[in-house]
Amino acid sequence: MRPTNTERKRPREIPSESPSNRISVPLAWRRRVQRTSSLLESFYHATRGISVALQGERNLKIHFVMAIAAVGLGCYVHLEAMGWALLFLAIGLVITAEMLNTAVERVVDMFCGGQYNSLAKDAKDVAAGAVFCASIASLLIGGAVFLPALLAMLK
């Protein structure tokens, strides 16, 4: 017997805004569907997107913790400018990939309405694969940046 619409698994809900945001942010910014009218409004939406992703995605939290650890290690080994540039590029690559993965997952869930679809699964798997590739690239960059500095400290 097939489940009815109300019995089907619902997709994950996007966390709602906190009450403090409702007070300080103009209503028009929260309900807008067309282009933003100001640069400040664009920054509001971007920072809200980061906040939503951080609140709802375990892997993004892990990536942020690892980024903080990498920056701490960079301070410890006294990275030079090129090392810092590569480190921040790698961090940005992984965080961006994870946030795009989150966006793909949520859009796919919204359109599928909790129903299994092989194309939806493929889209989500490909997005997750992109995060995996970015993570491997960042590990290789981290090795190239940190190994020489760590080996020099051991001598």
Backbone region of residue 78 per phi and psi (left: phi > 0; alpha: psi in -120 to 50; beta: other values): left
Domains along the sequence of the chain with CATH: 14-56 (no CATH), 58-154 (1.10.287.3610)
pTM comes to 0.75
pLDDT tens for the 155 residues of the chain, in order: 555 544 444 444 444 455 444 456 666 666 666 777 788 888 988 999 999 999 999 999 999 999 999 999 999 999 999 999 999 999 999 999 999 999 999 999 999 988 999 999 999 999 999 999 999 999 999 999 999 999 988 88
The pLDDT of residue 8: 46
Tell me if 28 sits within 8 A of 127, measured CB to CB.
no
Q: Residue 17 — φ and ψ, nearest 5°?
A: -70, 150
The pLDDT of residue 4: 53
**End-to-end C-alpha distance for the chain, whole angstroms:** 70
Residues designated catalytic: 98
